[in-house]
Structure 1
Amino acid sequence: MILESDVRSDAASRRAAGPPAPPGPGRPTRGSTRSLGPVLASVSAWDADPLGVPVLDALDGRLGIALCLSGAVAVSQDGADTVLREGQLTCVDGTRPHRLAALVPSVVVVVGAEHQRVGLPPEGTRGMTAAAWSGETGVHGLLADTVGGLAADLDRLGDTEGNALGLMILDLIGCLLAEQLRKRAVEPAAGRRLLTLKILCHVRSKLGDANLMPEHIARHFGISLRYLQVLFAELGTSPARWIRDERLSRLRDDLADPGLDHLPVSVLGEKCGIPGASQVSRLFRAAYGLTPSEYRRAREAIRESAGGPAPGAHAGSATPVNVGDRVKCGPESR
């Protein structure tokens, strides 16, 4: 059994061993950015810059959680202001203007995910952005230690480990946001969004069940199918469409992993809850413009032409190329 204390102590020791040193005065900001399955992760060392810049542009509209690994960073968004100290977390929403300022040379780790995959629409993050949260205990501590460990390990993770870690980080982000919403549960909107996060966490754990249906989800949570549809409508989708898109996104992550090339597409599809090779191919092509086999070949062609690691791996300061980004950003909502 893996104990929380074991996870946290191991992550804390790795975090302490390997963060990039903050740059000296006048040196340029530097860092690494990499996709970890459903999560975009970035480790950055910043010069002191009292004026501040929107340094999280790499989030590209994602919902981000930032951890101050060392130094002090001023954060402003949605009319709120805070200063992140070492070991503190905050939420920053990439869909709206924000400002971060390194008050002293600092190292910051950021993880971001699409709002729909997290289960919180952009307006749902208002009231949570630019608030400093302690990364010492509970789910905040688990997320801080896991994210902090990326400072040492981001460039060393294999694709399979990276995808698995990204899924774990996505769940931890959902748990952290659910805890914040729980404090505001007296507000009707906050209560609905808290329920939505719980539902999505449950659905992710059942994605491999090809018989998972919206009716089953509604029954599990003791709500009507109509109310379930209302909750997903706030994310701009429907229950069935969200399940399909999440399955296809997870399948795409698996297909992008060279370590899983020995598994037939049909096996990966069944693992994601999509039975039958023909159905896997049809749904994947409709979403991404390529069949799964074509997607794998395109990934290999990009890797060979670049003469480097497979898409999703990172080297130096360049942002990695994701085959999916060359086709479409995600499953189409139809």
Structure 2
Amino acid sequence: MAPTERAEAIRETIWSTVVRVEITHQPDPRLIRTVGTISAVGPLKVCSVRANATTIRRTPSLARDDMEPSVFVGLQLTGSSMVVQDGREALLEPGDMALYDTTRPYTLLNKDGIHQHFFRVPHAELAVPLATLDRATAVRLPRRDPLADLTATCLRRIARHQARSTASSAHGMVGAGRPAIELLRALITARLGDHLSASGPLHDTLHVRILDYVRAHLGDHDLTPARIAAQHHVSRRCLYNTLSCKGICLGDWIRTQRLERCRDELAAPAALHRPISAIAWRWGFPNAAHFSRTFKHAYGLTPSDWRALHAAAR
């Protein structure tokens, strides 16, 4: 695009699809660079951007527009940035998040350019008391916080999928927006709300947090129901009931996830010379013979035949 047209094209795109803001670009129009994707996952609007713009402002007059009242979540990818709203400033490093509200003015300062995922959630979908939201803006949600890290991981997965998806595969992600919003609600209320307002969202996201914990520890040979329950401060009965309500049998789910990891690794060129027993052990199968039988029952081929099939196809 011609340099003289870039700033206006970017403004028009952002205004028509995301939010009305003033954008300060490089003084020399030839240096303006912006690349990104904008999409929707159910009620969640996803905007992934890398740009060398320096400042974004939602001015008092723009904050009075007819846009549906919403909250933005900024997830910093590289570099640093600052969110300013309601008399507070949040300095973000990679992995950190911060919220800002479209109904009031805010400023995003990006000295070295923008590299973030932005997620817009309508107030009505987030369903957090306005008094709590007022305390949540321009507050750094650091990556070292376990609940913030889990929320960021979920949002990051959605953004990455949207960036590389086709129209048909993106349609299949529509349902993913809801768990992400539930996690965000739990994070806001747990960190900035009161105990009563936090209990509901934390309960609603228990199954999401359990499954994410299990995914992260699939290779652990002591990944027992007792350990999983203790990690989430619930009884084993509560653990089983929570997952059962979502149609999940814990033992079957863990076995399926482990088998998928083994299947993918056996087909990977980098693992061609890695012993099958070592791959099985890595993903929680200590008995090679039992693993081979389980794998064949699931996929119709032995692990060695599966590996040979993919090696021949390369």
**TM-score when normalising by structure 2:** 0.48
**Greater Rg by CA:** 2
**TM-score when normalising by structure 1:** 0.45
Which protein has greater RCO, CA pairs closer than 8 Å, 6+ apart? 1
Normalized per residue, the structure richer in helix is: 2
